Amino acid sequence: MDSSVSSACASLKPMDFITGEVMCIDKPLGWTSFDAVKRLRGVLLRRYGKKKFKVGHAGTLDPLATGVMIICTGRATKRIDELQAGVKEYIATIALGATTPSFDLETPIDATYPTAHITRELVEQTLSRFVGAIEQIPPSFSACKIDGHRAYKMARRGEEVKLKPKLLLIDEIELLSFAPESITIRVVCSKGTYIRALARDIGAALGSGGHLTALRRTRVGSVSIDSCLSVDAMTSLLRDVPIVPHDEDDPAKS
């Protein structure tokens, strides 16, 4: 870290990661949510000289997605359910005319469809049908459980995956850009919404098939992407910011 950033950290109010802190990061492309938690936990383990430390995240992001991720430490992990219940906002790019088993780029294209009939007007009319309360079947390639087994593990083994539809609320869908073979949309939705599944359903409703090619979470509750630090910046902050010391026998462990 350069000297200016170190000086800025030194001037900050001490942080108490054991009693609990809530931090907001911009998860990078290709990282799992666990990767981000592991990086930050490692820094705190070294700073406190502990072998265990409570760190968790309020809402998973797929490796192919970027954006807002809320990280909680210590006793603040008790707030995870509250924080991840907030309304989410996403910017999603959907390729039309082709489908994949995972509804995104994790798996290769398995079918193609015509797109010549797709117009901006048709897309806008179709998107309006998804605003409000909807039922959505989660992707087979998801962390949902079937008889105690993760759906994505079953799907990768080639096993049949049957998931029940869930009732969700889509507050807003805005068409940001249009081309017959690709659209970008802004989605404001409730907890539990799979944007990959939304891409699947929009593609099906357009009669063209569709899959997600890019996804960025821009808001969770009151936390916007503008208030998030990169993983590297947060790592540097945790390394240098003053911390509140705790006795070894402090009941708030770790």
Give the per-residue pLDDT at 142: 66
List all residues 6 or more positions away from 188 whose beta carbon is below 8 Å from its beta carbon: 87, 88, 89, 170, 171, 172, 173, 219
Give the per-residue pLDDT at 65: 96
User: Which residues form the catalytic set?
Assistant: 62
Classify 3-85+223-240 by CATH class: alpha beta
Stated pTM of the model = 0.88
CATH 3.30.2350.10 residue spans of the chain: 88-220
Right CATH for 88-220 from 3.30.2350.10, 3.10.20.600, 3.40.390.10, 3.30.930.10: 3.30.2350.10
CATH 3.30.70 residue spans of the chain: 3-85+223-240
Along the 254 residues of the chain, how does pLDDT read in single tens digits?
433 334 445 557 899 999 999 999 999 999 999 999 999 999 999 998 888 999 999 988 999 999 999 999 999 999 999 999 999 999 999 999 999 999 999 999 999 999 999 999 999 999 999 999 999 988 777 677 766 777 667 777 777 777 788 999 999 999 999 998 999 999 999 998 999 999 999 999 999 999 999 999 999 999 999 999 999 999 999 999 998 877 654 544 44
